[in-house]
Homo-oligomer: A and B are copies of this chain.
Amino acid sequence: MGVVGGGQLARMMIPPAVELGVEIRVLAEAEGMSAALAATAVGDYTDLETVRAFARDVDVLTFDHEHVPQAVLRALVADGVQVHPGPDALQYAQDKLRMRERLGKLGIPMPDWARVENAEQLDDFIAEHGGRAVVKTARGGYDGKGVRVVTAAAQVEEWFLALDQDGGPDAGALLAEELVDFRRELSQLVARRPSGDVTLWPVVESIQKDGVCAEVIAPALGSAGKVAEMAAQIGTTIAAELGVTGVLAVELFETTDERILVNELAMRPHNTGHWTIDGSTTSQFEQHLRAVLDLPFGATGHRDPWSVMVNILGGPVEKSLDEATTLAMADHPAAKIHLYGKEPRPGRKIGHVTTGGEELDEVVFQARAAAAFFQD
């Protein structure tokens, strides 16, 4: 299996590849990245010849991220390379305007949205939605980047200016969305095989800080009934209708009036699924491998009644990473500590902690306390 991109998602595919006897190779952006252990090539994933050379010796190509250009993906498919997820599906994860248009046709519940090509259109949208809107660049955003809450079009003036200079087929527009009055954020993780099988993990609750996933509670509280059913239905429909192969994360808003709305899609293992490494019979990374290799799916049940994942972000820390790790391990022997082999920088995701157990308050406390050693 070849993975384009050498970040932590590629890194976390290594353990299940080792366990399942799958040979894994990574095309990394640079030396010394998170997935360096499996990196057999270093190069630019936007360059067709680089990716083509890497793909020559693998049976299946998959991804650490969604940024490989459509032109490259389509050339690889034309070469006969097995690409999962394929370009037809990936376009909806690469372009938020296309995603909104497509989900709209499928009748998937979403926030109100509009394609806005200029300041006038955006100001109209803001006026129609209580004086506020969420504005997103169609492409290239992640972890809160390319997303802004505004009360006037002037607040994203430079994004409109950049559009004019872009010139691509989808250039010329931003995505405006209503600011949803949500109770909480949920995430529905799904995996789909090329042969069509779909499997799901129970819907989880994701707690964001500054636009970045900070904490995940699995399963989402009180999710046994209607909420879980709606989330599962939405996830299954999107995976099947968009032809996703591999893991799909559907980020959802649960509104105060008890609707479930699709916020974002990610067609790869996702931060809201890291808890599955320790908390589910089959992790999202193992399932992604099984999916892209078209192997039968593993069971997705919870191993503990509750699992909690807390991200470890780099910050202004007095102690070294080794010292923090030692202290966290000493105080929290049952916490599963995951580090991505990255140098800590303020706000950078460098790892995560997962805990599991029967009492949610204790499970949350242990995960937060273990992660805190890396931030204090």
Other contacts beyond A14-B37, A298-B333: 8, CB < 8 A: A15-B18, A20-B337, A21-B321, A37-B38, A296-B333, A297-B329, A298-B329, A301-B334
The CA-CA distance from A337 to B338 in the complex, in Å, is 22
Report if A326 contacts B (CB, 8 A): yes
The CA-CA distance from A330 to B295 in the complex, in Å, is 8
CB pair A351 B21 closer than 8 Å: yes
CB pair A334 B298 closer than 8 Å: yes
Report if A24 contacts B (CB, 8 A): yes
Q: Which chain B residues border A12 with CB–CB below 8 Å?
A: 18
Chain B's closest residue to A286 (CB) is B336
Chain B's closest residue to A355 (CB) is B281
The CA-CA distance from A298 to B338 in the complex, in Å, is 13
Report if A339 contacts B (CB, 8 A): yes
Q: Which of A173-226 contact B (CB under 8 A)?
A: none
* Centre residue among A23, A340, A341 by max chain B CB count within 10 A: A341
Nearest 8 A-B pairs (CB), nearest first? A21-B339, A15-B15, A296-B330, A299-B334, A296-B329, A299-B333, A14-B18, A19-B338
Taking residues whose C-beta sits less than 8 angstroms from the other chain, chain A's interface range is: 35 or more
Q: Which chain B residues border A277 with CB–CB below 8 Å?
A: 19
Q: Which chain B residues border A326 with CB–CB below 8 Å?
A: 295-296
Total copies of this chain within the assembly: 2
CB pair B339 A297 closer than 8 Å: no
A37: which of B18, B330, B338 is its contact (CB, 8 Å)? Answer: B18
Shortest beta-carbon distance from A342 to chain B in Å: 8
Q: Which of A288-326 contact B (CB under 8 A)?
A: 290, 295-299, 301, 303, 321, 325-326
The CA-CA distance from A183 to B23 in the complex, in Å, is 42
The CA-CA distance from A326 to B21 in the complex, in Å, is 12
Q: Which chain B residues border A338 with CB–CB below 8 Å?
A: 19-21
Report if A65 contacts B (CB, 8 A): no
Q: Which of A335-368 contact B (CB under 8 A)?
A: 336-341, 351
